[in-house]
Amino acid sequence: MNAQNRRTPSRRTYAVRRAVALVILLAVLAALGWGVAALASRGRTAPSAASTASTSQKKVNSSSSSSGTFRSQKAKDSGIPDCSANDMSVTLSADQSTIYGGGTLNLTKKFEHKGSTDCLVDTSDASMVVVISNSQGVQVWRSDACPAEASSILLGQNDTYEKTTAWNGVISNTAVDDTISSRATVNTSGHGCMNAGEQAPYAQSGDYTAQLVDVNDDSVKSDLVHFSIG
């Protein structure tokens, strides 16, 4: 068969081939586009280790804030007021009803928000003070006898916060034991913080009470807790 008798592809055949090639090209481009989009979407939705840690930390902070443990300097700067008797109630509880010479009484201070407005409370032993008094009503020991750093807490609606103060049965009031004066740094309330190497005298056996009092607002105080020293 000579060259003149060979069949030459028609225009219709060329058109079909071009259409098939175009369809294949479009399919390849679509697949590539889908793959790029999937990778981009995965990059946006799958958090990195750093972002996961950040999210976890935020949850921890949020949880801490709801239980009243958020450090409040930023809140203070933003104008949030101090808690008053209208904003919170305070209670005091003891881990035992009797201690013996040299024993320790653990007193738990509890702060419960009862208002509708966030507020701040300094829960430190120098501000929310635990006062131990004898059966005659004479103060024997105060938790603010020694300096304590401020520990302000932000309380929101329905928040509660607890903090423990330990009393080891000693006297801080110079009016109860005047030997304290020469061995301690005495504050304006007449209670002494013992100097290094000095031991405070122990309270005598008998009945005592403990009370939590806000030194800046005496309307904020707990009920009396009764206990004894055996």
133 vs 176: CA distance, rounded Å: 11
**Of 120, 174, 124, 167, which Cα lies nearest the Cα of 144?**
124
User: Could you tell me the mean pLDDT of each successive run of 10 residues in the chain, 230 residues long?
Assistant: 48 58 63 55 39 25 33 64 94 97 94 93 96 98 96 92 96 97 96 96 97 95 97
Task: List pLDDT tens digits, range 133-155.
Answer: 999 999 999 999 999 999 999 99
Tell me, what DSSP letter sits at residue 145? S
SS3 assignment, position 193: strand
pLDDT of residue 115: 87
Measured distance CA(184)–CA(78) in Å, rounded? 39
Which overall architecture, per CATH, does domain 75-229 show?
A: Sandwich (2.60)
State how far the Cα of 214 lies from the Cα of 210, in Å rounded to an integer.
Answer: 13
Per-residue confidence (pLDDT) for residue 42, from 0 to 100? 47
Take residue 127 and report the two structure tokens written for it.
């501000």
* Structure tokens, 149: 């750093």
Q: How many CB atoms lie within 10 A of CB 23?
A: 10
The residue whose two tokens read 């239980």 is: 67
Residue 68, pLDDT score: 41
Alpha helices in the chain (DSSP H): 11-45, 49-66, 73-77
